[in-house]
Chain A
Amino acid sequence: MQNAFQIVYLIPLFPLIGFLLNGLLRKHLPRPAISLIGCTSILASFLMSVWVFIGVKNGNTHVAEYFDFIRVGKLVIPFAFQIDALSSLFLLIITGVGFLIHVYSTSYMHGEKPEHFARYFSFLNLFVFSMLLLVMGANYVIMFIGWEGVGLCSYLLIGYWFKNQEYNKAANKAFIMNRIGDLAFLIAIFWLIAKGGSANYSDLESFVTKLSGTDITVITMLLFIGATCKSAQIPLYTWLPDAMAGPTPVSALIHAATMVTAGIYMIARSNILYSLSPLTMNVVAYVGLATALLAATIALKQNDIKKVLAYSTVSQLGFMFLALGCGAYTAAVFHVMTHAFFKALLFLGSGSVIHAMGGVQDIRQMGGLSGKLKVTFITFLIGCIAIAGIPPFSGFFSKDAILLSAFEKNPVMYGVALFTALLTAFYMFRLLFVTFTGSFRGTEEQKHHLHESPAAMTIPLVILAVLSVIGGLVGIPEVLMQGGDKLASFLSPVIAAHESPNPVSHSTELGLMGLSTALVLGMIVFAWVKFKNYKSKEETGFGKVLENKWYVDELYEKIIVQPLQQAATFLKNVIEKNIIDGLVNGVGKATQYGSRQLRLLQSGQVGSYVLLMIVSMVVIFAFQFFLRK
């Protein structure tokens, strides 16, 4: 299997070639060629990833160094790829889900003009390239390159329909908010290099002796701030729901399945450092829990199908951070994987619904779609069951692992997390019932137009649905099956096994599983009763607060954006106009005045020249004589 590792650079190279081809030839390629290039490049890297994955599964790891990216003094930062359990798993998720979404996009975006179609696919390929760089890099600097690349692609794709000013604003918001996290990430890298002298993952273990406790806490906190931005955690999550302005497959790929999990990848990658800083771990856990709860409450009352899914994503990411904060890195990575399956499925399903509805995203105008959109309905239902966490669907295993880790850390945390999980079940089934059951609430024309999506869209849905069902079987907890947690043993070389301070007995564990499953089922029935015949009505009181997302955007507007704008206005009107302009104009005026006076010296009279000459000479002599000792 060594030869798979030797050509590992091909994995990111294929999407890069796809990006270049589609990007440069976008005005000349016909639509089928664009689709072919876009999809084949990802398929090729998916096949390579599978090959590499098999190699890793057989126990091999590899660090491929290509050249020195930076060499300054003693600091050497190689351009190197690291292939181990963690990165190979992410490679599979990115290229696998990425490929399905590319295939889906060929049909979803068919209404676009060829050159825009090509632009879309080139951005998507560039995104996959950057994301692969992010997970394959063997040090934080290469990860940062990918990190910035995915941020750029996210911006480009959110603002894909650039003629709509609102979408551009959403793209700007995502990009600018991400800058905050990027800065923190960058400072963390600098700190690491300054104190430890290297940014390689392989040196992380030796850092333990080099870095003081404070250093580790600061670095991990800064990395975490970087992660909160990319992975949409409190307080920097507001960009993600707005990012739904992009095309739906983009939301599925970037803002649900892959890019937003970069923060989790980063923390899981740095788990050695994080395990040494209990303070940061606590912060991570609490921020994750708070985000999960807050986003889940907001999702309860959203009426835009994509917004519900967006807040659900934020909430699920919160769960992952909760797991990271509890030290259960494997559970977090497990949830990243299952979440990638069912959230991509749900987003693509919503895309199919939006497609059928002719662009309408408001669930209040839908209803009763299950009859016309059979495949979409069934796959969406599977996605909902998976995310709600009913055994044996994938979400159950990963969410259960997270809940268990929370229980071991703190039962109160477990309670809040369980409550959030119930909210998850409730809002997802609210979405399902309001959209697919009851009677149709749109116009007659829309009703006439309703149709199932073409095969290019439904086949990815079906594949993702199958994965959502069986994806959890790689991580069956020990209590249910001896040696069932294959994922944990696969990841064990990279991630130290989670040793719980106060492990729970098997009976408690089973009890917790039973409890959460029973409560989730109850929640689903409750949602069914409440929403099977949904009638839209104006929200009042608390519901209105939730519908308006706790007014967080308005709060940010008031406390950050407006003061900033006022400061900018002040700078523009007072500092700029009076001081800066005054300085610049003053220099000009002084020069003009001075030259006008100096000009008079040149009279043309020989006598005056001679006089000046003599006076100057006398002055120079006097100077020499009196002042020079």
Chain B
Amino acid sequence: MLINYYIFLSLALFCIGIVGVLTRRNAIIIFMCIELMLNAVNLLLVAFSKMHHLTAAAADPNAIAGTDAQIFVFFIMVVAAAEVSVGLAIIVMMYRNVHSTDVNFLNRLKH
């Protein structure tokens, strides 16, 4: 298995996420891009975890080395889910107030 493919895929996903966050003004799309970045990281974690586990298992079939990253991914998913619920609530509130999901309307952070 070539780890390179996974790395490039997650890098691509992450960059798409960043560019999306930077260029789009719709809050929902920005949100989706953030999720994309999180999942790019998750993908990378799982890929590396699998790789380390394979090398360890080759020496000892009962080895559990490298599996902890996969547990970590579950934590990220849980946190992301929680974040989504809060973020969507914010977006709903924002829409109620300004009747738009355009983040540039919210430039009052400087005051």
Contacts and interface: CB of A to CB of B under 8 A. Distances in A.
Contacts of B18: 614
B22 A604 contact: no
B106 interface: yes
Contact of B22 (A602, A603, A614): A614
A606 B103 contact: yes
Interface residues of B, number: 12
B110 A607 contact: no
Contacts, number: 24
Contacts of A604: 107-111
A505 interface: no
B104 interface: yes
Nearest to A614: B18
A605 interface: yes
Interface string B38-71: 0000000000000000000000000000000000
Contacts of B104: 605, 607
A610 interface: yes
B110 A610 contact: no
A609 to B, nearest CB: 8
A610 B108 contact: no
A602 B109 CA distance: 9
B21 interface: yes
Interface in A589-615: 602-607, 609-611, 614
Interface in B1-37: 18, 21-22, 25
Contacts of B107: 603-606
B98 to A, nearest CB: 14
A603 B107 CA distance: 8
Contacts of A609: 109
Contacts of B21: 610
* Range of interface residues on A (Cβ < 8 Å): 10 to 19
Contacts of B103: 606-607
Contacts of B106: 606
Interface in A573-629: 602-607, 609-611, 614
Contacts of B109: 604, 606, 609
Nearest to A603: B110
A610 B22 contact: yes
Contacts of A605: 104, 107
B22 A607 contact: yes
A607 B109 CA distance: 12
Contacts of A607: 22, 25, 103-104
A606 B26 CA distance: 12
A603 B111 CA distance: 10
Interface-centre pick from A603, A607, A611 (highest chain B CB count, 10 A):
A607
Contacts of A611: 22
Contacts of B111: 604
A605 B104 CA distance: 6
Nearest to A602: B110
Contacts of A614: 18, 22
A174 B92 CA distance: 86
Contacts of A602: 110
Interface-centre pick from A602, A603, A604, A611 (highest chain B CB count, 10 A):
A604
A614 B18 CA distance: 8
A172 B87 CA distance: 79
Nearest to B23: A607
A421 to B, nearest CB: 93
A107 to B, nearest CB: 82
A427 B106 CA distance: 100
Interface string A208-223: 0000000000000000
Interface in B62-107: 103-104, 106-107
Contacts of A603: 107, 110
Interface of A: 602-607, 609-611, 614
A-B complex: 10 closest residue pairs judged by Cβ atoms: A604-B110, A604-B107, A604-B109, A602-B110, A606-B103, A605-B107, A611-B22, A610-B21, A614-B18, A610-B22
11 contacts: A602-B110, A603-B110, A604-B109, A604-B110, A604-B111, A605-B107, A606-B109, A607-B103, A607-B104, A610-B21, A614-B22
Given A606-B106, A610-B22, 9 more contacts: A602-B110, A603-B110, A604-B109, A604-B110, A607-B22, A607-B25, A607-B103, A611-B22, A614-B22
